[in-house]
Structure 1
């Protein structure tokens, strides 16, 4: 016998059922925010900062014979942390002291780092802006210009081309070798993993001048090649390989082991698992490691100073003759007493910053897709295949 609901029989619901509270269909989700700024927290922060500044002013101007802006702000910061800890203990209890003081240290450290970076970029823009006003700064070389010539003559075109060519040589050699070394350390291992990792870590802290001396002694003095863009690219390669290898190993170890095990369970070999699972999953991290390695190498002066030389002429042949780069141009220009050359040096520094930002943007655009995300060409090919398959099925059905 089937159960019949009272509503189906036309009966009224029982008083208990009518009095029961009706639950909503879907409870509204409330987002929990762990870090929020409240009025009490903001007033405690501002009050502690004001108290620290007032204490330091009294100490420097009235009590102690102290001078100097660095000591003033350092003492004020230490006193701010102490006052903020006391205020936190009074208002929120002792358990919140460590959390809030450490949070204040982290936030202030981050603001300090961002402020230093913005100050350096702003000062470079301020000093290099007179040179960037003129289009010839990007389209001409210093072959027909001297140190006393105005900024309307000459430019850094030869340095831009030299930097891009040397960076291209270094990237083409260092990226495959660095990623292969990282794959060996993270996926293969064995007895040789420990000495290879030790060598990579030792080369990571290698001074830049040592890389230049190594290539100069081996490539120029021993093998008899001349100082050129290729020698500079090899010096940058020596610097990039350990950095790319170490950073890539960290990114590869972040790939979950369950993905590898699932691939092995489907019958895939190790190289197939690495090629189709591990590398696509770590693609964004590997791209970041490569970009960081390029950013570190493209601004180095000591290795290229020993291996390429400074030249005011355009040289698109990296195998022969000197080939200057942006770091070398900056190093050479700021040593001139003429203000026009100093302005050119700061302008070249700003161009170097722009080049690094452009390379970073391109790398993030190319390698920043999520694992498994298809490119536009792949999506078009899949759509084309589906359309062809649908036409074949339609023709078969009509036949």
Structure 2
């Protein structure tokens, strides 16, 4: 028998029975319906319990139906995919719920007047007032912290990647790792101890110092990873032309990784913008507008939210939710700017 004759003898079908593409949706709908029935029959009042039951039924149903039609091997693959989808939904549902609650409750008093006025002489139990003083305080405190923390973090990362050798680099890396996990209250207590020694009253710049401490390790880690992504061939080509190393870093390495570095700085700013504990200890809060961060107590958005919610009352709760929505919008804008800069400065 010739080789061609053997080659032509192929099986009619290389695949067995397959479930239709809409089967996962059908299994999910059936799981939800059964979970609702079980929840109502068992008297379970929490929708979270219904969702967990539906997730378990979805995974079990996917395995059982797929194993019967396509076999156990394919069933295991579909179960793994189902678990990924369930984990995704478990992560997204609380986030969506948080955003929905914040938006629905925050829009009640969020208007131009709320954004352009301070609390002033308005009591926490009264309606009216605004967050202008808190916005000014947050922008100044976070801005000063960025001016201090971002350059130090970037220069530290440059040292670790380009020059760091020996015990000094190991010590710097160790302390950066320790600072990455430091609680924000510890940074606030550190600055507070210095203020007590120097007998200083609360002021905005003290909060900026604590925020800068929290910001630096984030900037160091993100910048370090971005610098490591720069190909060594670019460095070697520059050095082969006789360019000094410091100039190679300044003209080749940093411009190549500028998009990633900027993104890391923006994310670090978004992280410190929501810190409350250091500001509560060091800035103290102020219902009036104070544009001087070096003299007197200041307000900030996280501290304003805490104080309003702690005051109680419908008017204070509405202001707290509106300020929360403003803070979320601020962080979202920073993330969008970071993504835009990363795409704009991405190497081509």
Task: Indicate the TM-score class for this superposition, using the shorter chain for normalisation.
Answer: 0.7 to 0.9
The answer for the alignment partner of 2:152 in structure 1 is 177
The answer for the alignment partner of 1:16 in structure 2 is none
Counterpart CA distance in 2 for 1:234 and 1:295 is 16
Counterpart CA distance in 1 for 2:30 and 2:336 is 44
The answer for the alignment partner of 2:176 in structure 1 is 200
Counterpart CA distance in 2 for 1:180 and 1:97 is 52
The answer for the alignment partner of 2:23 in structure 1 is 44
1:261 and 2:261 matched: no
How far off is 1:49 after superposition? 1.8
Counterpart CA distance in 2 for 1:136 and 1:314 is 15
Structure 2 residue ranges without an equivalent (≥5):
1-17
Superposed CA deviations along residues 199-225 of structure 1, whole A, max 9, x for unmatched, are 11111111111111011112x112233
The answer for the alignment partner of 2:49 in structure 1 is 71
The answer for the alignment partner of 1:293 in structure 2 is 268
Superposed CA deviations along residues 50-83 of structure 1, whole A, max 9, x for unmatched, are 4433554565566x79774433322331231232
From 111, 124, 134, the equivalent of 1:147 is 124
Counterpart CA distance in 2 for 1:265 and 1:94 is 59
Q: 8 Å contact 2:19–2:66 — kept in the other structure? A: no
Superposed CA deviations along residues 215-268 of structure 1, whole A, max 9, x for unmatched, are 1112x1122332111000001011101111112212222222232233233333
Give the TM-score normalised by structure 2: 0.86
Counterpart CA distance in 2 for 1:279 and 1:98 is 47
Q: 8 Å contact 1:305–1:328 — kept in the other structure? A: yes
How far off is 1:167 after superposition? 0.4
Superposed CA deviations along residues 338-375 of structure 1, whole A, max 9, x for unmatched, are 211111111111111222233334444455423468xx
The answer for the alignment partner of 1:319 in structure 2 is 294
Task: Please tell me the root mean square deviation across aligned C-alpha atoms, in Å.
Answer: 2.5
Distance change in 2, residues 1:253/1:97 (3 Å): farther
How far off is 1:91 after superposition? 4.5
Which of 1 and 2 has greater Rg? 1
Distance change in 2, residues 1:209/1:97 (3 Å): same
Counterpart CA distance in 2 for 1:344 and 1:241 is 32
Secondary structure (helix, strand or coil) at the match of 1:272 reads: helix
Give the TM-score normalised by structure 1: 0.75
Q: Which has the higher contact order (CA 8 A, sep 6+)?
A: 2
The answer for the alignment partner of 1:282 in structure 2 is 257
Alignment length, in residue pairs?
A: 330
Counterpart CA distance in 2 for 1:131 and 1:97 is 52
Secondary structure (helix, strand or coil) at the match of 2:311 reads: coil
Q: 8 Å contact 1:44–1:87 — kept in the other structure? A: no
Does 158-167 or 78-87 show the bigger shift?
78-87
Q: 8 Å contact 2:32–2:54 — kept in the other structure? A: yes
Counterpart CA distance in 2 for 1:70 and 1:351 is 28
Secondary structure (helix, strand or coil) at the match of 1:335 reads: helix
1:188 and 2:166 matched: no
Distance change in 2, residues 1:59/1:350 (3 Å): closer
